[in-house]
C-alpha cells in the first residue's frame, strides 16, 4: 500500500475532503503533528506522497517556533528530488521558503470566498482550467504571501494576491487557498480562528456562514474532481522524472521576516 505522510499544524485543519480520495487511491495515511513529532523519524524521500497542511503561524516566525526551520530544511531535499508533494496555505508557503523564495506579510487578510484567475502557466497544468471554472469561488484564509520560487510555474492568482498556486517539477503542487475545505467543518474554523476574524476588517461570522452555504457545495465537488485528477497523474508517472526542476541552493534569507 502507498503511504501518504500528512504534516499537520492545527487539529481542525486536516485533510478534509482529501482523506477519502487518498484512501480510495490506495494510500495509507499517517499524520505528523508539527512541533510534537520528530521529523527525523520520517526520512523525507520515503513516503509516496507528502501533504503539508495549513495553520495560523507564519514561516518567518522561526525564532518563536524553531521547528518551522526544521520543516523547511526537511522539505528541501524532497522538492529537490521531485517527490510528490502537496502544500496547502502554510504548506505552500513552507514549500516556497524551502525553494528560497521570500515569504512575508501581505498587508491585508484574505479571508472568505473569491474566485481565482488562471496563472501564466496554468494552461499546462492538467485539470486546473476546469477546476477554476467549476469551483467558481474558493476559500481563502491567509495574511501572508510569497514570491514565486525561481524555476516554479505560476498557476493561479486572485484579485488580492498574485501568487496563489505554483507547480514545481513534475510532481509538486503548492496551493495558497483551501480546496480541501469541507462546509460541515466551518464552525470549527470560526471557533479556532475567532481572534483572527475579529481583527480582519470587513470579515464577519455571518458573512462567512452565508458565503460558505452559497459557494462550498460547488467548490467541494470541483475540488474532489481536481484532486482525483492530480492523484491519477502521480500514479501514472511514479517511475518518471519529467520536467525536472533546477537545483535548489540553500540560502539563509528564506527564514527572515521581510
pTM of the model: 0.92
Q: What is the pLDDT of residue 239?
A: 41
- If residue 206 lies in a helix (H) or strand (E), which one and from where to where? helix 205-236
Say how far apart CA 117 and CA 208 lie, in whole Å: 21
Packed helices 205-236 and 128-135: angle between N→C axes, nearest 10 degrees? 160
Q: What is the DSSP string of 97-156?
A: HHTT--EEEEEEEEEEEE--EE-TTGGGSTTHHHHHHHH-SEEEEEEEEEPPPTT-EEEE
List the grid coordinates of 138. 474558493
Tell me if 253 is assigned to some domain: no
pLDDT digits (tens, 9 = 90+) for 231-240: 999 976 554 4
Say how far apart CA 215 and CA 45 lie, in whole Å: 37
Say if CB 126 and CB 164 are below 8 A apart: no
Tell me if 256 is assigned to some domain: no
* Coil vs helix vs strand at 254: helix
List the grid coordinates of 249. 541552493
Look at the chain and report how many structural domains it folds into.
1
**Distance between the two ends of the chain, CA-based, in angstroms?**
43
Q: What is the pLDDT along the chain (258 residues), one digit of tens a residue?
A: 899 999 999 999 999 999 999 999 999 999 999 999 999 999 999 999 999 999 999 999 999 999 999 999 999 999 999 999 999 999 999 999 999 999 999 999 999 999 999 999 999 999 999 999 999 999 999 999 999 999 999 999 999 999 999 999 999 999 999 999 999 999 999 999 999 999 999 999 999 999 999 999 999 999 999 999 999 999 765 544 444 455 565 443 333 332
Tell me if 178 is assigned to some domain: yes
Tell me if 258 is assigned to some domain: no
Q: What is the pLDDT of residue 229?
A: 95
Q: Looking at residue 88, which CATH number applies to its domain?
A: 3.40.50.880
Q: 129 Cβ partners below 8 Å, 6+ apart? A: 118, 122, 123
Tell me if 100 is assigned to some domain: yes
Say if CB 148 and CB 95 are below 8 A apart: no
Surface-to-core class of residue 121, CB atoms within 10 Å of its CB (0-12 exposed, 13-18 middle, 19+ buried):
middle
Say how far apart CA 181 and CA 38 lie, in whole Å: 27
Tell me if 224 is assigned to some domain: yes
Tell me if 9 is assigned to some domain: yes
- Structural domain range at position 224: 2-245
Tell me if 84 is assigned to some domain: yes
List the grid coordinates of 195. 481572534
Amino acid at each position: 500500500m502507498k503511504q501518504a505522510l500528512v504534516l499537520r499544524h492545527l487539529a481542525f485543519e486536516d485533510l478534509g475532503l482529501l482523506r477519502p480520495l487518498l484512501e480510495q487511491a490506495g494510500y495509507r495515511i499517517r499524520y505528523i503533528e508539527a512541533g510534537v513529532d520528530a521529523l527525523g523519524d520520517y526520512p523525507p524521500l520515503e513516503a509516496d506522497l507528502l501533504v503539508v497542511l495549513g495553520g495560523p503561524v507564519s514561516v518567518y516566525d522561526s525564532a518563536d517556533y524553531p521547528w518551522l526551520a526544521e520543516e523547511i530544511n526537511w522539505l528541501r531535499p524532497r522538492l529537490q528530488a521531485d517527490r510528490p508533494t502537496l502544500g496547502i496555505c502554510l504548506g505552500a508557503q513552507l514549500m516556497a521558503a524551502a525553494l528560497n523564495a521570500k515569504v512575508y506579510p501581505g498587508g491585508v487578510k484574505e479571508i472568505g470566498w473569491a474566485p481565482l484567475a488562471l496563472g501564466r502557466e496554468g494552461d499546462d497544468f492538467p485539470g486546473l482550467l476546469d477546476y477554476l471554472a467549476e469551483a467558481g469561488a474558493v476559500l481563502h484564509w491567509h495574511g501572508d504571501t510569497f514570491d514565486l520560487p525561481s524555476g516554479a510555474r505560476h498557476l493561479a492568482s486572485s484579485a488580492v494576491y498574485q501568487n496563489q498556486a505554483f507547480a514545481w517539477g513534475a510532481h509538486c503542487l503548492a496551493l495558497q487557498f483551501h480546496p480541501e475545505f469541507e462546509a460541515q467543518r466551518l464552525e470549527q474554523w470560526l471557533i479556532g480562528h475567532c481572534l483572527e476574524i475579529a481583527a480582519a476588517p470587513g470579515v464577519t461570522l455571518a458573512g462567512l456562514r452565508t458565503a460558505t452555504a452559497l459557494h462550498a457545495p460547488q467548490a467541494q465537488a470541483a475540488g474532489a474532481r481536481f484532486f482525483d485528477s492530480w492523484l491519477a497523474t502521480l500514479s501514472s508517472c511514479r517511475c518518471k522524472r519529467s520536467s525536472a526542476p533546477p537545483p535548489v541552493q540553500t540560502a539563509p534569507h528564506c527564514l527572515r521576516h521581510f
